[in-house]
Amino acid sequence: MAIGPTVRRRRLGSELRRLREARSINLEVVADRLGLAASTLSRIENGKAPTKTAYLTALLEVYEVTDPEQRQILIDMAREGHRKGWWAGYEDVLPTGFGIYVGLEADASGLRIYETQVVNGLLQTPEYAKAILREVNKKDSPDQLQRATELRIKRQYTVEKPDPPDLWLILDEAVIRRPIGGPEVMASQLKHLVEASHWPNVTLQVLPFSAGAHSALPGPFTILEFPERTDDDVVYLDSWGGPIYLEKERDVRMCAEAFDRLRAAALSTNDSVALANQVAGQLM
Question: Torsion-angle region of residue 182: left (phi > 0), alpha (psi -120 to 50) or beta?
Answer: left
Q: What is the pLDDT of residue 54?
A: 86
Per-residue pLDDT, 46: 87
With residue 59 as reference, give the H or E element that holds it.
helix 53-62
Beta strands 202-207 and 221-225, pairing class: unpaired
CA 280 to chain centre: 28
Q: What is the pLDDT of residue 78?
A: 85
For the whole model, what pTM was predicted? 0.86
Q: What are the Cα distances from residue 84, in Å, to 6, 16, 258?
A: 9, 21, 34
Residues linked to residue 225 through DSSP beta bridges, in sequence order: 110
Question: In what helix (H) or strand (E) does residue 106 lie, and over which residues does it extend?
Answer: helix 98-107
pLDDT at position 2 is: 60
Phi, psi of 236 (to 5 degrees): -110, 130
Single-letter code of the amino acid located at 201:
N
Q: Please report the pLDDT score of residue 218 as a whole number.
A: 94
pLDDT tens column, 210-219: 999 999 999 9
Which CA distances in Å does 229 have to 112, 203, 257, 270?
17, 23, 19, 32
Domains and CATH numbers, the chain: 5-81 (1.10.260.40), 94-283 (3.30.870)
Phi, psi of 97 (to 5 degrees): 80, -10
Q: Report the candidate in 34, 192, 19, 165 with the shortest Cα–Cα distance to residue 106.
A: 165
**Segments in the chain below pLDDT 70:** 1-2
124 contacts 189 by C-beta, under 8 angstroms: yes
3-class state of residue 273 by DSSP: helix
Q: Among 273, 252, 253, which residue's Cα sits nearest to residue 171?
A: 273
Q: What pLDDT, on the 0 to 100 scale, is given for residue 271?
A: 98
* Residue 50 identity (one-letter amino acid): P
